[in-house]
Structure 1
Amino acid sequence: MKIFAIRNEEDENRKDLGYLIYYEKPRRFYIELPDDADPWETPLILSSCLKRGEKTISAYWSKVWVQQRIIPSDRQNLGRILKDNGLDSYDEFKLLTMTDGRCSQDYYYITAVSEKNLPDFIKKRSKKKIKSVFPLEKNTFLISFQDDSVKKYSLQDLVGTDRRFAPVLNNGDIFRSVKVEVGGYGICWGENLCISREKLYTVGKKIPLTWSEIQSFVSNSTLDSAQAAAELECSKQNIDDLVKRGKLHSVKEGQRYRLFMKSEVEERRWK
């Protein structure tokens, strides 16, 4: 993760107007604006988000801000420009840092900062980042946050009449494909269909359990095929046969593994 302060060259005090955070592997940008950010000081696109009450700028709008400050990907002589700058391919992050984020349209620039020097408001927001999402039945799911709180949600209640989410609501497989957005900034189905951490943290039904307790429950309540075979004092082939005959039911399986509820395996021992 790389972090940069956003500043204005015309400001003698070099005030940090925001922070650009870049996740290297997924190549994802996010911008955090201060709680007391002034729309008149904030870069134009980011100011528009601020006026909507958004202080954590989404990956989409953060990337748009970055793209406005670098050579566009459809530039006619792009190949020559990249070669002259020692680049083998179009890399938004490298192009941005080569000029410290400067462009001819304004006086903003970026400067690297250490993670340990991040202001308190970002550290406070980090506690609201999403740690895990666990899909349940009927388009409901659990979310755990960095502060170890857990909440339950109905996707229908969250998105209302937003038609973009219709495929998710109408297809269980798509619904269960939900992922935590890079950096814990939300949950998403694909790159563009996302729900922000701010919205999720402020709504939902709080579950009187911590995520650590839920993890402990899952860990202590499931067995893999080898553990189930040991519990039933049989071979893994016998376990496979029980599954085929519907005498034992896996709760999750992949190409090379199956997980079973410990209680069902123990009940099998009684028969």
Structure 2
Amino acid sequence: MFHKIKSVTPFPDFKLNVQFSEGVTKLYDMKLLFERIPAFRQLVDNPAEFADVSVDVGGYGLVWNDDLDLSCDELWQNGTVVKTPFDGLMAFSDATEMWGLNESTLRKAISYGKLVNGVDVCKFGKQWIVAVDAMKREYGAGGRR
């Protein structure tokens, strides 16, 4: 099972703040990799390159250059959960992908009262946000990835 990455922010002291599609944020300490995998040590010598990290196409890892990348599984398993006000929230687009639904299904769920506006879902501008717990309640715990 993949834990798709939405965004990454490099922090001082070689830490990465990683936001996942399922509404979880984790802090990953790169210093542990510097000890285990010599190739990553080049980031210590070049902090500007460390700061140039990006999410790979598809969200299944992070990349620095052609030689350095890091899987979403490593980040998920060895990152430390960070509490944020946005924990447990996800975009409709992510929810529909993970649960194999159409966005119209979620919109209908709101109109029928299965997903309650202001409690389970909320619209910010043009973007709908849904609580992961509400998705699990209405569509099952698994979701697909």
TM bracket (short chain): 0.5 to 0.7
> Which amino acid in 2 is paired with 1:186?
G
Q: Cα distance, 1:160 vs. partner?
A: 2.5
Q: Measure, in 2, the Cα distance between the counterparts of 1:158 and 1:201.
A: 14
| Structure 2 contact 7–18 (Cα < 8 Å) conserved | yes
Count of matched residue pairs? 88
Q: In the alignment, is the contact (CA less than 8 A) between 1:150 and 1:210 conserved in 2?
A: no
Which stretches of structure 1, 4 residues or longer, exceed 2 Å deviation after superposition? 158-161, 210-213
CA distance in 2 between counterparts of 1:160 and 1:129 reads 26
1:195 partnered with 2:31: no
Specify every segment of 5 or more residues in structure 2 that has no aligned partner in the other structure, as ranges. 89-145
Distance 1:180 1:164 in 2: 19
What is the aligned counterpart of 2:29 among 150, 154, 157? 154
Matched, 1:145 2:8: no
Distance in 1 between the 2:85 and 2:21 partners? 10
State the identity as a percent: 28
Whether 2:51 is the aligned partner of 1:176: answer yes
State how far apart, in whole Å, the 1-side matches of 2:68 and 2:28 are.
17
For structure 1, which runs of at least 5 residues remain unmatched after alignment? 1-124, 214-271
- Superposed counterparts of 1:28-39, under 5 Å: none
TM-score normalised by L of structure 2: 0.55
Larger Rg: 1
SS of the residue 1:135 aligns to: strand
Query: Which residue identity does 2:72 align to in structure 1?
Result: R
Aligned to 2:40: 165
CA RMSD of aligned residues (A): 2.0
1:133 Cα offset (Å) = 0.5
> 3-state DSSP class of the match of 1:187?
strand
Distance 1:173 1:211 in 2: 29
Aligned residue number for residue 11 of structure 2: 136
Structure with more contact order per residue of length (Cα contacts < 8 Å, sep ≥ 6): 2
Aligned residue runs from structure 1 range 1-271, under 5 A: 125=1, 128-209=3-84
